[in-house]
Amino acid sequence: MPQPVRGAGLFIALTTPQTWLPRAGSLHAHAIDALLRSSLFLLFVFCVLAQVMLVAGLLPRREQNPRFSRIWRWIATGAIVVLFVWMTITAEHLWSTVRLTRAEANAVPVEVTGVQFQWYFRYPGTDGVYGKTKPELIDAAGGNPLGLDPSDPNSQDDVVSSVLMLPVDQQVDLRLRAQDVVHGFFVPGMRVMQNATPGRVSEIHMTPNHVGDYAILCSQVCGLGHYRMHAVLRVVSTQQFSAWMAQREAAQTAR
Ligand SMILES: [Cu+2]
């Protein structure tokens, strides 16, 4: 039976995300892991410091110079403020690189749609333009879960899939939408989590850099079937991706 992790062992396990996070599969993942590691380390140091100060405060002591203790209070408060501002700026900067900056021009465009309780992925096809969708045309049982408008020529070559297929080492430009309620597009292996909200499009981009399968989950409790709302992100070589796309497009136009 494995021994429970205690003390220093627990600290090392907590501050080493590789031991409890899934394998990192995207370019920005290591920066997020490093931020998590440094935040956990700082919190650990502060937790120990707080306990030491608590115990020190309980011990009997000599009368202190009030000016001296006031200066120390200011220094401690100032240090904590500086630390938290630094942590916030670092985290915001990292977030903005995934969320706010524009995707590269050659990024693979994919539209992600959350529906109770399923994820759908749409590729714009050879024309590079997403076709029109109409809510009244939504018919999951009839093979049109996104309500693609067949009268729009741009929608003819759109490829809709329940697996998110992506080429390795190429940036992907994701547009997140939801049909009914708020869903959370969560890919732990890519260190990506972004809500998909009805009535708006949320854009994020990332670059998968390891071939393999990654779990896609829903991080918002979106209804009774929330627990089974998952899909697979499959990162493959560029050749495999092109072959898959050609095959899907051929099937689409044959219909
Ligand atoms: Cu959901």
Distance from the alpha carbon of residue 162 to the mean position of ligand 1, in angstroms: 14
Distance from the alpha carbon of residue 189 to the mean position of ligand 1, in angstroms: 18
pLDDT of residue 210: 93
Of the two residues 138 and 19, the one the predictor is more confident about is: 138
Distance from the alpha carbon of residue 112 to the mean position of ligand 1, in angstroms: 12
Q: How far apart are CA 181 and CA 65, in angstroms?
A: 60
Question: Per-residue pLDDT tens for 106-133?
Answer: 899 999 999 999 999 999 988 888 988 8
Query: Which domains, and CATH codes, for the chain?
Result: 7-99 (no CATH), 108-254 (2.60.40.420)
Question: Per-residue pLDDT tens for 172-181?
Answer: 999 999 999 9
Residue whose C-alpha is closest to residue 112's, from 172, 168, 169, 29: 172
Residue 161 above 80 pLDDT?
yes
Distance from the alpha carbon of residue 211 to the mean position of ligand 1, in angstroms: 26
Q: Model's pTM, two decimal places?
A: 0.80
What is the SS3 string spanning 56-111? Answer: HHHCCCCCCCHHHHHHHHHHHHHHHHHHHHHHHHHHHHHHHHHHCCCCCCCCEEEE
> Could you tell me if 32 and 94 are in contact, meaning their C-beta atoms sit under 8 angstroms apart?
yes
Of the two residues 231 and 249, the one the predictor is more confident about is: 231
> Could you tell me if 218 and 183 are in contact, meaning their C-beta atoms sit under 8 angstroms apart?
yes
Distance from the alpha carbon of residue 224 to the mean position of ligand 1, in angstroms: 10
Average pLDDT taken over every residue of the chain: 86
Percent of the chain with pLDDT strictly greater than 70: 90
pLDDT of residue 8: 57
Distance from the alpha carbon of residue 217 to the mean position of ligand 1, in angstroms: 8
Distance from the alpha carbon of residue 47 to the mean position of ligand 1, in angstroms: 36
Residues bordering ligand 1, an ion, CB closer than 5 Å: 183, 218, 222, 229
Instruction: Output the six-digit token pair for 187.
Output: 């890919």
Q: What is the mean pLDDT of residues 242-247?
A: 92
Q: Which residue has the tokens 């597009």?
A: 185
Residue 14 above 70 pLDDT?
no
pLDDT of residue 2: 44
Q: Within a 13 Å sphere around the CA of 254, how many CA atoms are in the beta-carbon half?
A: 6
Residue 20 main-chain phi, psi, to 5 deg? -135, 0
